[in-house]
Amino acid sequence: MTDHQRRLLVTLYVHPAADPHPWRVLERAAGRLYRVILNRADGPGIRPDPVFAEAAARLRAAGAPLLGYVDTAYGRRRVGAVLTDVRRHRRWYGVDGVFLDRTAAHAATLPRSRRLALASRVLGARTVVFNPGTHPDPRYAALADLLVTFEGRWDTYRQAEVPDWTAAHPPGRFCHRVYDMPGGRAGQVGRTARARGAAVHCALPGAGANPWRSAPDELEEAPR
């Protein structure tokens, strides 16, 4: 499948030793996934993790493109520290790209964000995703391959609005990440995202401090 056919950006924030089940689900569904975001310890951690690396290799072998999770703290984290995490993800876990979380959204931080995107590509990231979790200054759309313009609970997503400027860009530029989903509603997120101009989505049932610890229901329910 091409990226145009892969619609699910799956966030996997659970260690395979703690819960191997969602990792196995994603291996089986690898061909349907836009990318899988790997998060060892709010980033790659401070040293390689052989168990995590082995699980990442299995996902990669199954055909799932991988992104390494890197926190930018809304522009407050040092650029050098961010890029160190990008390097570690690439070297230790063989990721294809980077998921820059908590990115800034306002115009004043555009130069810094541009620098992060360019430096990540120089370090080997073929895909750069920005996650401001909201609609940023429209010029951010030119910096990343994918912008996460919504992240939040299903109840909030139902009422969310989309600014007019997004219509000037292809739907493949945008992603909506929704958690705390009622059972049986995962397909509704995909339809709603497409109607709002976002080709990529993630819908998870989890809630609380870490809603990203399980596989999407629509993959759990897929034939094995």
Query: In the chain, how long is the greatest CA-to-CA distance?
Result: 48
pLDDT at 179: 94
pLDDT tens digits along 190-211: 999 999 999 999 999 889 889 9
User: What are the structure tokens assigned to 50, written together?
Assistant: 């052989």
CA proximity to 139, closest of 98, 106, 112, 178: 106
Q: Which residues contact 27 (CB under 8 A, 6 or more apart)?
A: 58, 59, 62, 64
pLDDT at 4: 46
Assign residue 42 a region (left: φ > 0; alpha: ψ between -120 and 50; beta: otherwise): left
Percent with pLDDT over 70 in the chain = 96
Given a contact cutoff of 8 angstroms between Cβ atoms, the answer to whether 62 and 93 are in contact is: no
For 96-152, give the secondary structure using H, E and C. Answer: CEEEEECCCCCHHHHHHHHHHHHHHHHCCCCEEEEECCCCCCHHHHHCCCEEEEEEE
Give me the domains of the chain, ranges plus CATH numbers: 8-220 (3.20.20.80)
